[in-house]
Amino acid sequence: MNIWKISVENIKSKPLYTLLSVFMLALSIALLLGIQQLKTSFKYQMENNLGDIDLVIGAKGSPLQLVLSSVLHLDNPTGNIPFKEANKFGRNPMIKKAVPISYGDNYKGFRIVGTAPEFMTFYEAEIENGRQVQKSLEVILGHMVAEQLQLKIGDTFLSSHGLVDNDAHVHDDEFTVVGILKPTQKVIDRLIVTNLESIWDVHDHEDHENLDNHEDKEEHEDHEDHDNHGDHQDHTDDEHHDHENHEHNDHEEDKEITSLLISFRNPAALLTLPRRINEDTNMQAALPKYELNKLYEYTGIGFKTISWIAYVILIISGMTIFISLYKMIKERAFDLALLRTYGASNTQLIKMVTYEGLIIICFAFIIGFIFTKAGLYFLFNYLESGYQKTIVQALPISEALQIIGLVFAMIILSISLAIYPIIKMNISTILSNEK
């Protein structure tokens, strides 16, 4: 027998009280952890996915949309820009890296991005097995894509047009998987990466077919057709453009890209280059960090509100624990006094009550963690019915520790307040009032 065993017996002798306290505390821990994890995932997704992309050049339109589409690969692009014109900026000496990307297709909801090999260096992505794309229609799969679609090196697939999975508009050109990337926990995990030529080839081919088969059709109809697929307008423009210039299709200079991702050598360029592009060209330059911060500020209010609710719940459960411990100490005053007559010191009684509190906390933490994991799992399974494959970010240990620390501080405070009557206990009075 020891103090610990007495505490365990005490806990066992009142299962309902224990269960309720544990459940209440677990719920608030789960809520706090869950919100923190969502917030972290969201922020991480946004910030980390920027890689070292400082600037995006794309078609005029909403800068936020441009950033969402070209950097986070979430929204539809604003349109296309001429490759030639974009490349002029790419040669600026203040620029470290300028990587063109071009969209157009997806495979089962995962976007196929036509780009240059340097694209991967934005995300420090490495090839897990296989090799780089060497010729048109070869692709490298992000880790999550390979995992979810169960694709291996050498597998082939047909892409569908647009950025949303659909059966209505499937291309005839087969893509071949030549490489799979290591997991990066960044946006590239859910992308299918190929070279620019692949995208051009698929769509040129398509355009030829379109020309052959629907030569008599009005462009206007073509336009509608694409909108129906949830497609973006620029593709129509692209095709439009190709209709007009299709005899020059093979010259890279006349090609279009969706956007140009830029990282600077010299941060001073941030001040001059965007203005030059926005004022002097038909293109726009958007700063991903700035745009996402704006977005984050908006959504931050929601997270803040939920966080506050969670803190309120935590305070309530702290109070519940305090009240139940306090009540328990009052109700068990005679038992505690008896223990004192058996030779127990005040310290031993305090230890006993503290252990009881700690047992409740430990169970609450375990159950709280399970709640969080299960809750997020169901939440994301539910959300992933959309085309956005969201990654739940593991909560950084420092943040988890912060929450755990907070909960512990709260509980220790409740326990110490509840213990106060033990310190003040007058054994003689309690024993004389025996009823």
Partner 1 sequence: MITTKDLTFSYKQEAHTFSFPDIVLKEQENLLILGKSGIGKTTLLHLLAGLLKPNGGSIFIDDLDINSLSANKLDAFRGKNIGLVFQKNHAVRSLTVFKNLQARLFLSRKNIKNTVIDGLLEELDLIEYKNRRISALSEGQLQRLGIAMSVIHNPKVILADEPTSSLDDENCKIVIELLKKQAEKNNANLVVITHDHRIKSFFQNSITL
The residue count for binding partner 1 (CB under 8 A) is 28
The minimum distance between CB 335 and partner 1, in angstroms, equals: 5
Spatial CB neighbours of 83, under 8 Å, sequence gap ≥ 6: 100, 196, 252, 253, 254, 255, 256, 257
Q: Buried b vs exposed e over 163-202: b needs ≥16 C-beta within 10 Å?
A: beebeebebebebebbbbbeebbbbbbbbbbbbbbbbbbb
- Does residue number 185 form part of the binding site for partner 1 (CB under 8 A)? no
- Does residue number 348 form part of the binding site for partner 1 (CB under 8 A)? yes
| CA separation for the pair 177, 194 (Å, rounded) | 10
The minimum distance between CB 427 and partner 1, in angstroms, equals: 5
Q: Are 199 and 106 in contact (CB under 8 A)?
A: no
| CA separation for the pair 73, 384 (Å, rounded) | 15
Among 212, 213, 343, 381, interactor with partner 1 by CB under 8 A: 343
- Does residue number 330 form part of the binding site for partner 1 (CB under 8 A)? no
Would you say 8 or 376 has its CB closer to partner 1?
A: 8
- Does residue number 342 form part of the binding site for partner 1 (CB under 8 A)? yes
Would you say 264 or 363 has its CB closer to partner 1?
A: 363
- Does residue number 434 form part of the binding site for partner 1 (CB under 8 A)? yes
Extract the tokens encoding 76.
């539809």
Mapped onto helix, strand or coil, the DSSP state of residue 137 is coil
Would you say 17 or 42 has its CB closer to partner 1?
A: 17
Across the chain, which distance is largest between two alpha carbons, in Å? 107
Would you say 7 or 210 has its CB closer to partner 1?
A: 7
Q: What is the DSSP string of 74-111?
A: -S-----EEHHHHHHHHT-TTEEEEEEEEEEEEETTEE
CA dihedral 186, 190, 196, 197 (to 10 degrees): 150
Q: Which amino acid is at 179?
A: G
| CA separation for the pair 435, 433 (Å, rounded) | 6
Burial of 217 (0-12, 13-18, 19+ CB in 10 A): exposed
The contact pattern for partner 1, residues 80-119, with x = CB under 8 A and - = no contact, is: ----------------------------------------
Would you say 385 or 428 has its CB closer to partner 1?
A: 428
- Does residue number 15 form part of the binding site for partner 1 (CB under 8 A)? no
- Does residue number 340 form part of the binding site for partner 1 (CB under 8 A)? yes
- Does residue number 427 form part of the binding site for partner 1 (CB under 8 A)? yes
- Does residue number 339 form part of the binding site for partner 1 (CB under 8 A)? yes
The contact pattern for partner 1, residues 284-323, with x = CB under 8 A and - = no contact, is: ----------------------------------------
The minimum distance between CB 15 and partner 1, in angstroms, equals: 11
Would you say 178 or 339 has its CB closer to partner 1?
A: 339
- Does residue number 423 form part of the binding site for partner 1 (CB under 8 A)? no
Q: Rounded to whole angstroms, what are the CA distances from 336 to 15, 21, 56, 82, 162?
A: 19, 21, 70, 83, 73
Q: Are 29 and 407 in contact (CB under 8 A)?
A: yes
Would you say 9 or 227 has its CB closer to partner 1?
A: 9
Listed ranges 4-12, 187-195, 261-269, 281-289: which one lies at the site for partner 1 (CB under 8 A)? 4-12
The minimum distance between CB 8 and partner 1, in angstroms, equals: 10
Q: Rounded to whole angstroms, what are the CA distances from 149 to 109, 144, 356?
A: 10, 8, 49
Among 10, 106, 160, 317, interactor with partner 1 by CB under 8 A: 10
State whether the Cα torsion 69-253-195-243 is positive or negative. positive
Q: Which amino acid is at 154?
A: G
- Does residue number 240 form part of the binding site for partner 1 (CB under 8 A)? no
Among 14, 60, 96, 223, interactor with partner 1 by CB under 8 A: 14
- Does residue number 327 form part of the binding site for partner 1 (CB under 8 A)? no
- Does residue number 424 form part of the binding site for partner 1 (CB under 8 A)? no
The β-bridge relationship of strands 138-141 and 191-195 is antiparallel
Listed ranges 67-75, 237-245, 301-309, 424-432: which one lies at the site for partner 1 (CB under 8 A)? 424-432
- Does residue number 9 form part of the binding site for partner 1 (CB under 8 A)? yes
- Does residue number 422 form part of the binding site for partner 1 (CB under 8 A)? no
- Does residue number 418 form part of the binding site for partner 1 (CB under 8 A)? no
Q: Which parts of this chain interact with partner 1 (CB under 8 A)? A: 1-2, 5-6, 9-10, 12-14, 332, 334-335, 338-346, 348, 427-428, 431-432, 434-435
